[in-house]
Amino acid sequence: MPTEILDTTLPSMRRAADILRAGGLVAFPTETVYGLGADARDSQSLHRIFSAKQRPLKNPLILHVANIQAAERLVKFNDFTRQAAAAFWPGPLTLLLPLRLDSGISHMVAAGQDRVGIRIPDHDIALRLLNSFGHPIAAPSANRSNHISPTQADHVVHDLDGRIDAVIEGGNCRCGLESTILMPCEEGIMVLRQGVISESEIAQKLGISPTIMPAAAELQTPGQHCVHYAPNAPLRTDARKVSSDEVWIGFGPDQPNATLNLSLTGDLDEAAARLYATLRQADQLVRSSDHFAIACAPIPTWGIGKAINDRLIRAAGRRRS
């Protein structure tokens, strides 16, 4: 059966919630990327997420809730994590916190980890869906495992048509990169995945500078040990020169001849928002022309530029050094 495309009217949102209640899968927009949602209490529904995405079962899922009271019923906060939630929620910060014994959440969400990822998305449609469903929704990004995350409903359909019940058409995701994943630990706070919220913003709002998880430790972390966010064509990053058989992704006003450009004005937020759609477009161009690879211009490494570079490095199949 083809995937149903839902609009954002009240009957469609009710339909989406009914699909979740019946154990189905609904992709929905968030401010970061589209998520593939299922009832977080129901192992059978969660199983369907893993098989639709072809995702390894040991890769844990992120819980999405509508408000802090719902979060408090599922995970244990302390003063610091409550402060972090107050500073960044609703928004693109995932906190890794201990699951409460009485949470009612399926063991498949944490996939054997001793903490679970949780966030409140800052997106009207996501919040309406959560409120209409009335329970926590587990949702990874709505792409095939290891492919580029979706920032438009079309991307979801491209990757998962016929494998999921419905997708809510909610336009382009505002941020375009995944949430920052933060883990409080004895030594301080660690960023497991760089994302929309930069380390400097975290330090500024919480008064502690986070450490980035060392590349070597990533090998021990579920979901971080394989190539991610990858287009099909080979990708070259930091490309100052391109050859005629490469699709050129530029950045800023100095590359008027680039095939595509992440931001003509050199705006990093715009580049983040357009990154995944541009990589998909470049991939499409390689498939339909005599180009054989993608070359992306250097992207500055401040603010959200760090997360953009992180994704480009992974998309190129390399590890951070």
Residue 191: count other Cβ atoms within 10 Å of its Cβ: 20
What residues numbered 230-289 form the site for Mg ion, per CB under 5 A? Answer: none
312 and 249 Cβ atoms separated by less than 8 Å: no
The rounded distance, in Å, linking the Cα atoms of 297 and 104 is 47
Q: Could you tell which of ligand TXA, Mg ion, none binds residue 239, using a CB distance below 5 to 8 A set by kind?
A: none
Taking CB under 5 A as the rule, does residue 198 contact Mg ion? no
Q: Which two tokens stand for residue 109?
A: 């969400």
What residues numbered 127-146 form the site for Mg ion, per CB under 5 A? Answer: 141
Q: Which two tokens stand for residue 122?
A: 């800052």
Q: Which two tokens stand for residue 29?
A: 């927009």
Taking CB under 6 A as the rule, does residue 213 contact ligand TXA? no
Q: Which helix (H) or strand (E) holds 282?
A: helix 268-288
User: CB-wise, 141 or 151, nearer to Mg ion?
Assistant: 141
Taking CB under 5 A as the rule, does residue 45 contact Mg ion? no
Taking CB under 6 A as the rule, does residue 198 contact ligand TXA? no
User: CB-wise, 45 or 179, nearer to ligand TXA?
Assistant: 179
Q: Could you tell which of Mg ion, ligand TXA, none binds residue 139, using a CB distance below 5 to 8 A set by kind?
A: ligand TXA
Closest residue by Cα to residue 95 from 190, 177, 188, 29? 190
What residues numbered 74-103 form the site for ligand TXA, per CB under 6 A? Answer: 92, 94, 96
Q: Which helix (H) or strand (E) holds 247?
A: strand 246-250
Taking CB under 6 A as the rule, does residue 116 contact ligand TXA? yes
Q: How far is CA 75 from the centre of its chain?
A: 21
Chain residues binding ligand TXA by CB under 6 A are: 30, 32-33, 35, 59-62, 92, 94, 96, 110, 113, 115-117, 139-141, 178-179, 181, 192-193, 221-224
